[in-house]
Amino acid sequence: MQKPGQNIDFALKETSPKIGAGAVTGDKLSCTYDLVEQMHYLYVRVVKAKELPGKDVTGSCDPYVEVKLGNYRGMTKHFEKKSNPEWRQVFAFSKERIQASILEVIVKDKDVMLDDFIGGIMFDLNEIPKRVPPDSPLAPQWYRLEDRHGRKVKGELMLAVWMGTQADEAFSDAWHSDAATVGPEGVTNIRSKVYLSPKLWYVRVNVIEAQDLIPHDKTKFPEVYVKAMLGNQTLRTKISQTRTLNPMWNEDLMFVVAEPFEEPLILAVENRVAPNNDETLGRCGIPLQSVQRRLDHRPLHSRWFNLEKHIMVDGEKKEIKFASRIHLRIFLEGGYHVLDESTHYSSDLRPTAKQLWKPSIGLLEVGIISAHGLMPMKTKDGKGTTDAYCVAKYGQKWIRTRTIVDSLMPKWNEQYTWEVFDTCTVITFGAFDNGHIPGGSGKDMRIGKVRIRLSTLESDRIYTHSYPLLVFHPSGIKKTGEIQLAVRFTCLSVINMLHMYSQPLLPKMHYIHPLSVLQLDSLRHQAMNIVSARLNRAEPPLRKEVVEYMLDVDSHMWSMRRSKANFFRIMNVLSGLVAVTKWFDQICNWRNPITTILIHVLFIILVLYPELILPTVFLYLFLIGIWNFRWRPRHPPHMDTRLSHADAVHPDELDEEFDTFPTSRSPEIVRMRYDRLRSIGGRVQTVIGDLATQGERFLSLLSWRDPRATTLFLFFCLIAAVVLYVTPFQVVALLTGIYVLRHPRFRHKLPSVPLNLFRRLPARSDSLI
């Protein structure tokens, strides 16, 4: 799977993990978690205790439970002065790290100096039962506490102890022995979680007009505009052209908002009194809960809203009784898809309104197995380490695996499922170092990212690959490790899936009432900020730096490297056309006489039987497709360093890519980069000028800009019309083809007469200053 010229370290590798797909575990088919390797755990569910004896002078106790297995120990929280506490906490011990044969569950009394022993229970690991879902959870039982010598003492503890796998329902909320070094306050930051992006709407505010405005200075014509504010978003209309007290705009303002709606829409009518001096003529607040929702392009009714205005009287705010009005049409757009990620890597293309959703066409199942060869992201006790977790985003659903503490080869083995509504979507995986546990930097550092486009996956096939994690640093591209994934796309309806290819990519409102490129870019930026803020408020939070990295928030920033990569992508697309042109030139120059003669024969047949042209073209395309089937890609696409021009990028171009916006570099460096951009811009300007010149020359054939050239062209057109009227088309085509394919002996190296005429035609470049 290594591409030509690509570093083998950066290549995709096919793997053969011991996943449970089709495997039999005991007498049960392991189908729930069939895309990951099974990990066995000892589970201890501590429910509650009763009738615990008092150990303090006051006769009360502050109980907590300690679960001990070899060198690992987990503790519940303690209660103050409570003899019948309830904990309802689960502990999970990884079987592969167990080095003891006895499990101890001890109830202790919290004390200032030394915690008192109340009682305990011991379990032989060989006697612990096994549980495999979908079995019902094991019912907890009451156990009588014993002292250190095995004698029964006062007090009972309700427990459930069993051996299970990561498919167990208790797995996600359990305390894990893998994270034994993390204190109770950091446990919430290492658990696996599923998040949902907030439901996003576009808000369209059609500002129509205002009436009865009262400016402070009535002697001047007002210069009135409307300022709309929604959260951190602020937009303004243009200054009204009707400079009266009843101005008109009929202008649309677009916002992004998320459910539940927390802030009202604030509209203020302002008068431009002087530069940087605006007077508020009135304002109104509109709660979005009361706003109409539109599902299609049909217009909704407009409404008048009263504008409030306050004046200061003796230092107090007083409202003016006579209110101006503003005429608005406000609605929530349910027919658009709110773009919150880069359009090239969209994971969801459905409209906002759920009524417009079509049924799902399949399921995407992903097993996040492990990572290996990770770079140390921090230093603990003098050695480099990483506390790694993985995030995956598809549609509105985000997942975050648990954090594997202090490991450069973490094993997650967690499996997740998404509904698929369109195969022309991308799932994104990101690996991060957890910086919010003891010893962390307070910021989650990116380790790398992987994207998989669903349309490149075959149905019902399991893809198991190790993907390189690549990150750009100011020093260049670095491989920070590899992540092992298992991916399966299951099609629920082949007909619906194939029908999807005939449908528009975006909801129909994007085509009936399209938004401008600038609007989409601004709205996407606002949507990203809203999603980032909402997910950052979850528990545990999905940090802002994680969300921004997953959503490619900086993909629109200038990069010389990306510009080069895109230029060579265009050249690669055009290379096929260039190859055909070279091949045709070889045919015309009789480099291979046999091929040229065959082309002559084929050409004569197609001219004599023109009805065979289209069938021949489509048959040729069909045969090419069948021929290429043997070499079809057998693995998902991945990050290509060669395509990205990441393996040979100039250090200064890298420094420019990592520069802030606005720039923080010295004036000398900025001047050098500006001059470089001017040089590139000059070459682009020349190419665009040449294209414009050719187009203007073509237009000047009939414009009489050059009367002699136009006369010659018209004379040629008249003769051609007469000849073509009296000559059958097949004869003309046959003669033209034979002339074009003539032998080199009948050619000369000088340009042809039509080309000489075209190059002599005038263009408007002479008129440029």
Q: Are strands 362-372 and 378-380 parallel, antiparallel or unpaired?
A: unpaired
Residue predicted with more confidence, 113 or 628: 628
pLDDT of residue 196: 94
pLDDT of residue 169: 85
Structure token digits, residue 465:
């690959």
Q: For residue range 731-760, what is the model confidence (pLDDT) as tens digits?
A: 888 888 888 888 888 877 788 888 888 888
Residues 704-733: what's their mean pLDDT? 89
pLDDT over 80 at 368, yes or no: yes
pLDDT over 60 at 318, yes or no: no
Mean pLDDT value across the chain = 87
CA angle, 742 then 743 then 748, to 5°:
90
Q: What is the 3-state secondary structure (H, E, C) of 529-551?
A: HHHHHHHHCCCCCCCHHHHHHHC
Q: For residue range 480-512, what is the model confidence (pLDDT) as tens digits?
A: 999 999 999 999 988 989 998 899 999 999 999
pLDDT of residue 29: 37
Q: What is the 3-state secondary structure (H, E, C) of 280-329?
A: EEEEEEECHHHCEEECCCCCCCCEEEEEECEEEECCEEEECCCCEEEEEE
Residues 18-22: what's their mean pLDDT? 68
CA angle, 737 then 742 then 745, to 5°:
170
Q: For residue range 441-455, what is the model confidence (pLDDT) as tens digits?
A: 789 999 999 999 999
Residues 233-254: what's their mean pLDDT? 91
3-state secondary structure of 103: strand
Residue environment code for 628-647, b if the CB has 16+ CB neighbours within 10 A, otherwise e: eeeeeeeebebbbbbebbbe
CA dist., res. 672 & res. 655, Å (int): 13
CA dist., res. 168 & res. 90, Å (int): 11
pLDDT over 50 at 323, yes or no: yes
pLDDT of residue 247: 92
CA dist., res. 613 & res. 615, Å (int): 6
| Percentage of residues of the chain with pLDDT beyond 70 | 95
Q: For residue range 520-564, what is the model confidence (pLDDT) as tens digits?
A: 999 999 999 999 999 999 888 999 999 999 998 877 778 888 888
Residues 378-391: what's their mean pLDDT? 88
pLDDT of residue 547: 94
Cis peptide, bond prior to residue 540, ω within 30 of zero: yes
CA dist., res. 334 & res. 354, Å (int): 8
3-state secondary structure of 520: helix
Name the pLDDT band for 331 (thresholds 50, 70, 90). very high
Name the pLDDT band for 27 (thresholds 50, 70, 90). very low
pLDDT of residue 183: 66
Name the pLDDT band for 30 (thresholds 50, 70, 90). very low
Q: For residue range 581-628, what is the model confidence (pLDDT) as tens digits?
A: 898 888 888 888 898 889 888 888 888 888 888 888 899 889 999 999
pLDDT of residue 267: 93
Name the pLDDT band for 54 (thresholds 50, 70, 90). confident
CA dist., res. 504 & res. 409, Å (int): 43
pLDDT of residue 135: 77
Residues 28-38: what's their mean pLDDT? 69
| Element (DSSP H or E) covering residue 726 | helix 707-726
pLDDT of residue 7: 67
pLDDT over 80 at 700, yes or no: yes
pLDDT of residue 26: 42
CA angle, 174 then 178 then 179, to 5°:
75
- What is the DSSP secondary-structure string of 606-636? HHH-GGGHHHHHHHHHHHHHHHHGGG---S-
Name the pLDDT band for 310 (thresholds 50, 70, 90). low
CB-side neighbour CA atoms (13 Å) of 258: 22
Residue environment code for 451-470, b if the CB has 16+ CB neighbours within 10 A, otherwise e: bbebeebeeeebbbbbbbbb
pLDDT of residue 334: 93
CA dist., res. 439 & res. 601, Å (int): 78
Residue predicted with more confidence, 452 or 310: 452
CA dihedral over 83, 84, 90, 94, signed as positive or negative: positive
Name the pLDDT band for 317 (thresholds 50, 70, 90). low
Among the residue ranges 52-61, 72-81, 692-701, the one predicted with the least confidence is 52-61
Residue predicted with more confidence, 189 or 25: 189
Amino acid of residue 174: A
CA dist., res. 739 & res. 588, Å (int): 10
Structure token digits, residue 477:
């591209």
Q: Are strands 175-176 and 86-94 parallel, antiparallel or unpaired?
A: parallel
Q: What is the DSSP letter of 291?
A: S
